[in-house]
Amino acid sequence: MSATNIRSLFLCSERLLNRAVVTGAALMLVVASAAALFQVFSRFVLHVPAHWSEPMIKISLIWMVYLGLMAGARTGTMIAVDFVFDMTKGRFRTLMRAMILVAMLIVLVVLFYNGWRAVYMVRNQTIAGLGLSASWVYAAIPIGAGFAALAAIAHFIDPHTKTDSAEAL
């Protein structure tokens, strides 16, 4: 397989994964919104509080944010210094893009490592109101960081400008 084929395969796979992950993030927003609406309805109309809804909202929002990291990394809207970056051209711009990628990957590796440690530390705890293991909540950190790292590499290989950043997803 040639380098061009590998590059194309990686970018195509990343694009499909990105769509799936961003769809998952959107679904988490829907779950949080539905749980919040049910919580308000249950408390003020039925006069019976739904004890599960608040932790469900929190968990959904956490997963939404960490899954959404992938979209931010793919569009290059994370650790970027736009003002300085826009002033650069040629080799210095390529060097700056590489430095941004390295900085992002360092942050994401730290996030992945500490998220993995958090998952391990809370493995025996449960979420009150749901009976769900707390490690499922903390798993959003390393999973989101891993997806974001793939997207950051894809952005480095195939950068998108501000005008077409929505098409990156």
Stated pTM of the model: 0.87
> Could you tell me how many residues make up the chain?
169
pLDDT of residue 3: 87
166 burial class (0-12, 13-18, 19+ CB within 10 angstroms)?
A: exposed
Domain ranges of the chain: 3-168
CA 139 to each of CA 46, 60, 96, 147: distance values in angstroms, whole numbers, following the listed order: 34, 12, 32, 12
Task: State the chain's mean pLDDT as an integer.
Answer: 90
- Looking at residue 132, its pLDDT comes to 92
Report the amino acid identity of residue 62.
Answer: I
Q: Write out pLDDT tens, residues 86-121.
A: 788 889 888 988 988 999 999 999 999 999 999 999
Rounded to the nearest angstrom, the gap between the alpha carbon of residue 22 and the centroid of all alpha carbons in its chain is 8
- What pLDDT shows up at residue 90? 87
